[in-house]
């Protein structure tokens, strides 16, 4: 592929300097870069666990803490107006954690710097009121005013209203019903939903169908959060959305009058389904919402408090909690495989880590290769199992993105048993090739998970019913495959190139599904195209580099708001270390490691590095569900800047 032609942005006037001065400045910048990279690598190595892995905190909004209070209400029903659950002290800490994130206007945001969100604000108010906060307390008055200003409880998303309905706090007839018979529907309809959706709806279907009615404390209501005269309806949109709304009415009628034998069969199958998926896992789906509904489902089925499965489900759920004297938060899941793979790769690219550290990381990763068939095998029944999950253990749900990242880590991290590692790599490459979707791209957990009709279901407003192919994962997979020896002219790589070229935005960027947003998608698409060596991609790569240059912040860094998902275009934000690193990595993939934009980006990282070798980062740059759930990966501020410093060695 051709080299990058450096074109500086209009409006930037460079001072006249001699070639000798330019060379001296470049050498000084490289010396500072090398020193910053060394300090960063030492800081990252200090965070490695003795077993060989890295795991940073993964944090989100207040919904996790608020839902925890509802789960305690489910498990410990009040006797009359007073509610005194065993976890009273923990609930009080939980509520203080919620209030720490209240915005000046009274509400709560989906991400740092965001606007108040109606569903989060209702959840926060409910949790606080259940815990004993007076509705007349100043904090509660401000939340209530924000909720009413945003449309009241009726404006919440479907899952918030479903959770409230389980306690009689929202009319059951106005929330979607998920019947357990969904596991009996022929044709694998359940597996046309995304993996995380099916792991949520199956236990939820048990809760709705079998859960004996739970109540809030006597006299407890949320009446003050409802706007008077607001019409309630499941219909959001027209056409198929209306049809599904009518079908929901039939489902509710079935709940009351359906065949009891069929319902009993469905409940048994749903029970078996969730139990099967927790045998080799850190919880159902190893994610907070499905683990919470799993606990509620087992309780709904009559499991006694001392039943081993219920005890284990609660233990796994509580494992998501971080509680110290000054910290209280739940993680939506844990990210050791992801963190370990990226950390090892960054250190390997820099070339400074001792072989011992990377060998421990490689051995730890090899021990966690998935060797059992999971949900993905419904569509790929003849494919040999392999891959890695995001978490410590989640064998039904290996992740394509994590698997690609592990293969990149293995490019540098050599295990203590080379032959075993070679076999592992061969299986993983074969699995990735087999998981390519028909459009040439790769998704997160499944192949060809693209039944768009499911987006019209009444409970589809969590914006994640499907697991579509996306440029960010496709780019990473292509890079991993080529670096592990798949020929550039292999059909999988050629199809991947076509997918990326066909999904480029008109401004030159690419959409990022799993990171915020267009900066993330662009850097990974560029790396995939660079790995492909495709001459047909050169103009697209130049256009992408021009776009990255056009959005550089005045301080030399890059930043992008989570609001990009709302507007479907880039929305600027203050510079962050991780997004600056992504932009620099994108430039490097496009062939540019020395332009003014790159040097200014490097200078931003050098100027903002902390004495401990890391960088400060408070904004969310990770994506769970676009527009619904965002993430802060606390190690992104460590290893992505390090990877950028390791890559941009000619600035």
Which of the residues are catalytic? 401
The string over 327-343, giving b where at least 16 C-beta atoms fall within 10 Å of a residue's C-beta and e elsewhere, is ebbbbbbbbbbbbbbbb
Residue with tokens 């009058």: 257
Selection from 487, 645, 507 nearest residue 38 by Cα: 645
The Cα 388–Cα 410 span in angstroms is 13
Residue with tokens 């739940």: 330
The encoded tokens of residue 484 equal 């592990």
Q: Indicate the helix (H) or strand (E) that contains 352.
A: none
Instruction: Please compute, for residue 386, the number of CA atoms within 13 A of its CA located in the half-sphere on the CB side.
Output: 23
Q: What is the DSSP letter of 396?
A: T
Q: What is the DSSP letter of 377?
A: G
Contact yes or no for 60/634 (Cβ under 8 A): no
Q: What's the length of the chain? A: 651
The encoded tokens of residue 451 equal 């039944």
The Cα 378–Cα 373 span in angstroms is 9
Q: What is the DSSP letter of 29?
A: H
The Cα 390–Cα 403 span in angstroms is 9
Residue 321's DSSP bridge partners are: 330
Contact yes or no for 458/176 (Cβ under 8 A): yes
CA angle 66, 69, 72 (to 5 degrees): 155
SS3 label, residue 234: coil
Whole-Å CA distances, 640 to 204, 550, 636: 37, 21, 6
Contact yes or no for 129/140 (Cβ under 8 A): yes
Residue with tokens 């994962």: 473
The Cα 91–Cα 71 span in angstroms is 11
Phi-psi region of 295 (alpha: psi -120 to 50; beta: other; left: phi over 0): alpha
Residues sharing a CB contact under 8 Å with residue 326, sequence separation 6 or more, in sequence order: none
The Cα 303–Cα 311 span in angstroms is 10
The Cα 309–Cα 143 span in angstroms is 38
Q: Indicate the helix (H) or strand (E) that contains 632.
A: strand 629-633
Q: What is the DSSP letter of 258?
A: S
The string over 292-319, giving b where at least 16 C-beta atoms fall within 10 Å of a residue's C-beta and e elsewhere, is bbbbbbbbbbebeeeeeebeebbebbeb
The Cα 336–Cα 315 span in angstroms is 19
Find the farthest-apart pair of alpha carbons in the chain and give their distance in angstroms, rounded: 87
Residue with tokens 């993905």: 376
């Amino acid at each position: 592929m051709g080299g990058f032609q450096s074109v500086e942005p209009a409006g930037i006037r460079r001072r006249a300097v001699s070639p000798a001065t330019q060379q001296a400045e470049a050498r000084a910048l490289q010396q500072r870069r090398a020193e910053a990279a060394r300090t960063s690598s030492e800081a990252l190595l200090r965070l490695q666990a003795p077993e060989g892995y890295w795991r940073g905190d993964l944090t989100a909004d207040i919904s996790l803490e608020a839902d925890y209070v509802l789960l305690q209400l489910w498990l410990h029903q009040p006797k009359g107006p007073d509610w005194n659950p065993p976890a009273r002290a923990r609930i009080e800490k939980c509520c203080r954690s919620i209030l720490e994130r209240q915005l000046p206007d009274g509400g709560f945001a989906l991400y740092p710097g965001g606007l108040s969100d109606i569903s989060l604000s209702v959840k926060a108010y409910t949790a606080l009121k259940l815990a004993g906060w007076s509705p007349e307390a100043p904090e509660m008055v401000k939340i209530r005013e924000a909720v009413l200003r945003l449309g009241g409880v009726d404006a919440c998303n479907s899952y918030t209203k479903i959770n409230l309905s389980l306690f009689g706090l929202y009319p059951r007839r106005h929330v979607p019903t998920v019947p357990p018979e969904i596991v009996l529907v022929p044709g694998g309809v359940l597996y046309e939903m995304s993996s995380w959706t099916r792991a949520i709806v199956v236990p939820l279907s048990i809760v709705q169908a079998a859960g004996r009615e739970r109540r809030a404390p006597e006299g407890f209501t949320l009446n003050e959060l409802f706007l008077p005269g607001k019409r309630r309806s499941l219909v959001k949109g027209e056409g198929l959305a209306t049809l599904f709304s009518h079908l929901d009415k039939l489902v509710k009628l079935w709940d009351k009058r359906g065949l009891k034998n069929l319902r009993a069969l469905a409940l048994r199958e749903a029970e078996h389904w969730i139990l099967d998926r927790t045998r080799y896992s850190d919880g159902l789906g190893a994610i907070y919402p499905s683990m919470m509904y799993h606990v509620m489902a087992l309780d709904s089925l009559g499991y006694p408090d001392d039943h081993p499965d219920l005890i284990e489900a609660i233990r796994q759920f509580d494992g998501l909690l971080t509680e110290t004297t000054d910290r209280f938060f739940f993680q939506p899941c844990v990210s050791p495989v992801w963190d370990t793979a990226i950390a090892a790769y960054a250190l390997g690219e820099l070339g400074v880590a001792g072989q011992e550290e990377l060998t421990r990381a490689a051995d730890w990763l090899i021990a966690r290769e998935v060797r059992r068939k999971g949900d993905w095998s419904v569509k790929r029944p003849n494919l040999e199992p392999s891959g890695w999950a995001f978490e410590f253990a989640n064998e039904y749900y290996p992740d394509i993105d994590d698997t690609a990242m592990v293969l990149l880590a293995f490019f540098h991290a050599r295990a203590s048993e080379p032959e075993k590692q070679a076999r592992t790599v061969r299986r993983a490459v074969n699995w990735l090739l087999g998981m390519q979707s028909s459009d040439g791209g790769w998704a997160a957990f499944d192949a060809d998970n693209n039944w768009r009709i499911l987006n019209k279901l009444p409970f589809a407003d969590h914006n994640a019913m499907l697991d579509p192919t996306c440029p960010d994962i496709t780019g990473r997979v292509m890079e991993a495959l080529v670096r592990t020896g798949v020929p550039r002219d292999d059909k999988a790589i050629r199809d991947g190139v076509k997918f990326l070229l066909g999904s480029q935005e008109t401004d030159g960027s690419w959409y990022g599904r799993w990171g915020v947003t267009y900066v993330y998608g662009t850097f990974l698409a560029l790396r995939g195209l660079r790995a492909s060596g495709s001459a047909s991609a050169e103009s697209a790569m130049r256009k992408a580099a021009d776009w990255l240059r056009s959005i550089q912040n005045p301080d030399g860094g890059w930043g992008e708001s989570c609001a990009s998902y709302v507007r479907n275009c880039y929305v600027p934000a203050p510079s962050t270390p991780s997004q600056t690193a992504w932009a620099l990595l994108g430039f490097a993939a496009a062939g540019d490691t020395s332009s003014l934009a790159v040097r200014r980006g490097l200078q931003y990282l050098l100027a903002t590095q902390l004495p401990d070798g890391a960088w400060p980062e408070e904004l969310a740059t990770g994506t769970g569900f676009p527009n619904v759930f965002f993430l802060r990966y606390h190690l992104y501020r460590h290893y992505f800047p390090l990877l950028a410093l390791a890559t941009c060695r000619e600035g």
